[in-house]
Amino acid sequence: MTGVNRDDIRAAVGAGMISEAQAASLVALSDARRGVREHMTGLDEPFELYKGFNEIFIVVGLSIFFAGWLGLTGLSLFEITSIGYIATMVYAALAAGAVILLARYFTLKRRMVAPSIALAIFFGISTAQFGMGLSWMLRGDLPMTLTLGAGLSTVLLCIYYAVFRVPFAMALIALGVFATCFGIIAIGGTLPDDPRDLFLLSAEGPFAVLTIVLGLVGLAVALRFDMSDPHRVTRRSSSGFWLHVIAAPAIVNTVSLTLFDIGTVTAQLMVLVFVLAMAIFAIAIDRRSFLVSGVGYIVALAFTVMEGAAFLSIFMLGLVLIVLGAQWENIRRAIMNTLPGFPGKTRLPPWDILTPEEPIT
């Protein structure tokens, strides 16, 4: 027997012999024992937003339900004075409590992906509203209100993640950390003059430095998740994925925009070198987010430097991405076999592909 039969498990769930949670655990155990990573076509990078249209249906219902609650209570992330801080805190606490009850069913019992993501978002919004109401009670100004809302939401989202283990919550936590840190700086009276100041190291203020530092911290935590689950059969690797989604743009955007803003040929060449280095790094850790983050700068560079040949360059870039996507595993194997040994290399996702004739030991 090569593994559990999914149809038999679905039948057992339908007959009431086992619960959906038990079925999900059984499938995960079977995949882990067989080495699911080796059985994936092309060593693909697992990614899941929903399991079926029923989950989308439920998300639509949850979204309408939450929007109706906001309309009935007057809760908002932008204005809290219309209903008062006491009402804001009470309504936000009720909303967060309702989300927890719903998460116990849709996340812990039903193991649904899309509803779990939606509920994590609603919990983040509700706790942020509670923090804003608390700040208004303390007579805080706008920067303090936004900072306290983001900070409290981030802390409670950490607890939410510890209880429900929703990987997407990691992305919300990372965004909350960014918002809280930027808000603390804003409380001191320092505000960005331009949105580019968040990524431009040559701009005045500490925002760009903070962006890249937090991006590197997020990358370190994401790699820790990845290395704890190199075969990517648990939710730890999914948590790492969402951290990569937030950390990669923070790093790539900051370095690339800073170099691109210099405008010299040398700086433009350094952008290409940096993006190439990030591409090799992304292939080594088997994460495509760094490549996606750098594509925009290659396109901008093509229009700036190559002018008439820009569309040819973009055409070639698209072709490279297609080939890379189609042959990712072969390219990765060649790169990993070429790279010398370095700390943590053996804890990265495997890069050797097993042929169908080779037995699984």
| CA nearest neighbour of 52 among 3, 103, 10, 17 | 10
Q: What's the pLDDT at 357?
A: 40
Mean pLDDT of the chain: 83
- 51 compared with 360, residue with greater pLDDT: 51
The per-residue pLDDT for range 211-225, each reduced to its tens digit, is 999 999 999 999 999
The answer on pLDDT for 1 being more than 70 is: no
Q: How many CA atoms lie within 13 A of 22 on its CB side?
A: 9
Q: Where are the alpha helices (DSSP H) in the chain?
A: 6-14, 20-34, 36-39, 53-73, 85-103, 114-137, 142-164, 169-187, 207-228, 235-262, 265-285, 289-301, 310-326, 328-338
Say if CB 254 and CB 208 are below 8 A apart. yes
pTM of the model: 0.82
Rounded distance, CA 114 to CA 286, Å?
24
The per-residue pLDDT for range 160-184, each reduced to its tens digit, is 999 999 999 999 999 999 999 999 9
Q: What's the pLDDT at 162?
A: 96
For residue 209, the tally of other CB atoms under 10 A from its CB is: 12
Q: Where does the pLDDT of residue 356 fall: very low under 50, low under 70, confident under 90, or very high at 90 and above?
A: very low
Q: What's the pLDDT at 91?
A: 95
Identity at 37, one-letter amino acid code: R
- 196 compared with 222, residue with greater pLDDT: 222
Rounded distance, CA 157 to CA 174, Å?
10
Residue 173, C-beta contacts closer than 8 angstroms, at least 6 positions apart: 154, 157, 158, 161
Return the SS3 of 43.
Answer: helix
Residue 327, C-beta contacts closer than 8 angstroms, at least 6 positions apart: none
The per-residue pLDDT for range 71-123, each reduced to its tens digit, is 988 888 776 666 888 999 999 999 999 999 999 999 999 989 999 999 999 99
Q: What's the pLDDT at 99?
A: 97
Q: What's the pLDDT at 39?
A: 47
Q: What's the pLDDT at 120?
A: 98
Residue 204, C-beta contacts closer than 8 angstroms, at least 6 positions apart: 193, 197
Q: What's the pLDDT at 14?
A: 62
Q: What's the pLDDT at 180?
A: 96
The per-residue pLDDT for range 10-50, each reduced to its tens digit, is 667 666 777 655 665 666 566 555 554 444 444 556 667 88
Rounded distance, CA 130 to CA 108, Å?
25
| CA nearest neighbour of 171 among 102, 218, 115 | 218
Residue 28, C-beta contacts closer than 8 angstroms, at least 6 positions apart: 233, 234
